[in-house]
Structure 1
Amino acid sequence: MATLFITLGAPFFRWQGELWQEGQTISGLKAWQEHFDKIIACGLCKDEKPPEDCRPLEAEGIRMPEFEMLALPDGYHLPTYFRTRREIEARFLDAMRRSDYVSVAIGGWIGDWGVVAARVAQRNGIPHAVWFDRVESQVLAAAGGSGVKDRMKAAIKSTVTARAERDVLKGADLALLHGRTVFEALAPLSRNPHLVEDIHLEEGDRISAPALASKLAAVPDAPLRIVYAGRAHKMKGGLHWVEVLQKIARKGVAFSAEWAGDGDMLEAMQEQVRDAGLEEQVSFPGFVSDRDQVLELLRGGHLLMFCHLTDESPRILIEALHAATPLVGYRDAFAEGLVTEQGAGHLVERGDIDALAEAVADLAQDRTLLGDLVSRAARSARHLTRAQVFAHRSDIIKQNLKPLGEVS
């Protein structure tokens, strides 16, 4: 029996005597189990009521013997981290020695159990992979506020995290790097980097042929519908997003826009919309836990507009293509790879708000081009489904890591 040891980025929640986990992570656990006989999954655990998108693991079939969950204390609380680190290292080593393959997800800041797990594997000669879905050091650098103290704090956290990124990549036998943007940023630090993808949609989640036909039929006459779903965080460029809407409104573009997601920038974005007098055109429904509701939002959009300010590979871009919604936003390697596959969008340089507003206004004016982009989006990313991307990552792990029992 082949056992896979992994660390999780999303936390567990202990509530009413059960462990809960977010839906996407549960989807990932089930996908891994299609390729390994047993999964040992480790993650930070919070003793509090879980968010709406979480479900009890037992009810989802995540139970022994196929799954073993290791709930860990909050390492980001530094007193807890220093008090429990040795104990957690021993638990990691025991679990790794009972596994055939080891792959850990990396955050980077002090208290990240993924970094601890990678260092345990390295010290004990255990072949292991590290997984990155964004460049965390860059995210932390971009999170600094306008004050000197905030900027200094962000710079320190970014520097510490960048060093952790370099150390774990240097020590790992395999680096799994999600998306072209993350790959280009981190591959030079690894001796065995591999470009991989991450998505939790299947072919059956794509927009249906009748729905696509209805969407295309509405393109010529309907007001432009702009959508986005994701955290309202500084790295997502929410204030840029609203500023683009202000500019196209001044150009006379008829549009509606919706951003589904919660976060620390949401109030600032809402205030910016109110100041611009766009409350009737722009809506913020907040966090949407219903996956089907998010897919319907994307399917109803004429374009996904995004203003990502850091190097990451957000799944929402792939999900938009599955919904036949073109990608219009800031250029990076990940977005460019998705757009150029079928020509399903338009990208401008990161931070160029004027160019993005001009591109959106042009599409509002040229409905023939917009319809063509919708059709191209519908043909895009067919190779990116949950089954295919997890099979790909599992094959890479098995081909590049020698099972622990075979290590001399």
Structure 2
Amino acid sequence: MQDLNTLLLVTHVHMRLGPNGLQIDDQTAAGLRQWCRHFDRVSFYGILTQGPSTSAWVDTNEGILGQKLRLFGLPQGYGPAAMLRALPAVRRQFRSAIPQHSHLCFTLGTVLGDWPFVAALEAIRQKRRYSAWIDRVEPPIIRSRAAGSPLKRLAAELWLPPAQGLIRHALRQSAVALLQGGDTFEYYARSAPDPHCTYDIHTHADEQIDAASLAAKQARILSGAPLEIIYPGRATAMKGPFEWLETLQALHRADVPFRATWIGDGPDLPALLDKAKQLGLGGMVTFPGFEGRRNVLLDRLKAADLLLFCHKTPESARCLIEALVCGCPIVGYDSAYPRGLVAQHGGGRFTPQGDPKALAQAVLSLHRDRAALSALVGAAAQSGRLYTEDAVYAHRAELMQRA
């Protein structure tokens, strides 16, 4: 029997077993609190994981989560053998759960080890409406990860066409598609009967930069002080960390005074530190590592003059929205996602993909025209007011309730 307004949400999110039951990371918990506000009951399926993690884990047995949320941990299935072993039991779970919920939402990924895709197939078999949620464009990310291995590249090229065909099949059968950011929307919208561009953010109205802090930042910029440049994210190939350094090197050669900070850990961080020293940027660039304190990260963004990014793949990076909320312009490689974020009020400058020299030239022009940079800061803050957790989750909940 279906309850009046219940949600079955099947995802790739990791969860773990804690002392009080299953735990999820703090940002997923924030999202689930929102879903619990919009639905009478939420059943959330994720991937049960073990081992060390930098996530801030949260119990779910108290408050609104304890009242309305049920968590279910699925086995890891990222490999043909692992998926085939677990598939019969997982399908039985979905076969039983789907009729018990009035609304269904599945976060589609890459098919292999993709339990949301399996849930979508079961919903199709039961002739149920569902919403399909896609966070990012997977093929370029998979190709980027396989770039260093000819065998992995070959496997990716053999696997991606049929896998993407199956994902598009699930999209075509959906009632509503929630496509995160402009890049994802551009890539998948043609395959969905009712596509919508959505966003995922966990900032609140009281976290937006205040008028006094905004004015102080603009005054400092107009004074000609060294540029404060920031990037918060993992040091991985898809983030373009070495092109980020190339851009800074070009600025240094052009005698632009700046201080730059990359906040985050990741597999490329040691090599990034070495490269910064080789380029003579050791005194101008700092790498403080992972920062788990949200208030500290937002304060750093509020203090920065611009977020410099060199994303190599089409992704809907949350840090770009957080920067706008903090009155920090986003300056980096062009794609539909950042363009869409600032389409209404401005607050960004974008240059062609893979061209650090062009990106450095854009920053140089802002350095030379401090009035333009000050105006860009104001526009960024105005764009940031569009993005609050309450607003974006209300929008997505309304879309889910159509299915």
TM-score by length of 2: 0.94
Percent identity between matched residues is 34
Is 2:334 the partner of 1:331? yes
Quick check: 1:216 aligned with 2:218? yes
| Pairwise CA distance, 1:12 | 0.1
Separation in 1 of the partners of 2:289 and 2:240? 16
List runs of 5+ in structure 1 lacking aligned partners. 402-408
Counterpart contact for 1:137–1:157, Cα < 8 Å: no
Matched, 1:249 2:252: yes
Alignment of 1:240 with 2:243, yes or no, is yes
Please name the residue that 1:404 is paired with: none
Tell me how far apart the structure 2 counterparts of residues 52 and 134 of structure 1 sit (CA, whole Å): 20
Contact 1:328 1:347 in 2 (8 A): yes
Does residue 44 (structure 1) correspond to residue 47 (structure 2)? The answer is yes
SS at match of 2:323: helix
Paired AA for residue 136 in structure 1: E
In the superposition, the TM-score normalised over structure 1's length comes to: 0.93
Q: CA deviation at 1:8?
A: 2.7
Structure 2: gaps spanning 5 or more residues: none
Cα 1:354–1:216, aligned 2, differ >3 Å: closer, same or farther?
same
Alignment of 1:84-99 (within 5 A): 84-99=86-101
Q: Per-residue CA shift, 1:117-157, capped at 9, x if unaligned?
A: 11111122111111011111221112223342242244345
CA 49–372 in structure 1, closer or farther in 2 if over 3 Å, else same: same
Equivalent of 1:289, from 283, 292, 306?
292
Residue 383 of structure 2: SS of its match in structure 1? coil
Q: Which amino acid aligns with 2:358?
A: A
Q: 1:9 aligns with which of 2, 7, 12?
A: 12
The alpha carbon displacement at 1:50 in A equals 4.6
Mean Cα displacement is larger for which, 36-45 or 158-167? Answer: 158-167
Letter in 1 for 2:264: G
**Within the alignment, does 1:194 sit opposite 2:211 as a pair?**
no
Provide the residue aligned with 1:382 in structure 2.
385
Structure 1 position 13, deviation (Å): 1.4
Partner of 1:353: 356
Aligned residues: 399
Query: Do 2:137 and 2:183's aligned partners in 1 also have CA atoms closer than 8 Å?
Result: no
Residue of structure 2 equivalent to 1:269: 272
- CA RMSD of the aligned region, Å? 1.8
Q: Does the aligned pair in 2 maintain the 1:140–1:155 contact within 8 Å?
A: no
- For residues 87 and 111 of structure 1, the distance between their equivalents in structure 2, rounded to whole angstroms, comes to 14
- The code of the aligned residue for 1:121 comes to A
Give how far 1:75 is off: 1.4
Match for residue 182 of structure 1?
184
Q: What SS does the aligned partner of 2:12 have?
A: coil
- The alpha-carbon deviation at position 52 of structure 1 amounts to 4.2
- Secondary structure of 2:260's match? strand
Question: How far did residue 78 of structure 1 move?
Answer: 4.1
Distance 1:57 1:285, change over 3 A: farther
Cα distance in 2 for residues equivalent to 1:50 and 1:266:
17
Q: Check the 8 A contact 2:228/2:304 in 1, yes or no.
A: yes
Aligned partners of 1:14 and 1:49 also within 8 Å: no
Q: 1:14 to 1:79 in 2, by over 3 A?
A: farther
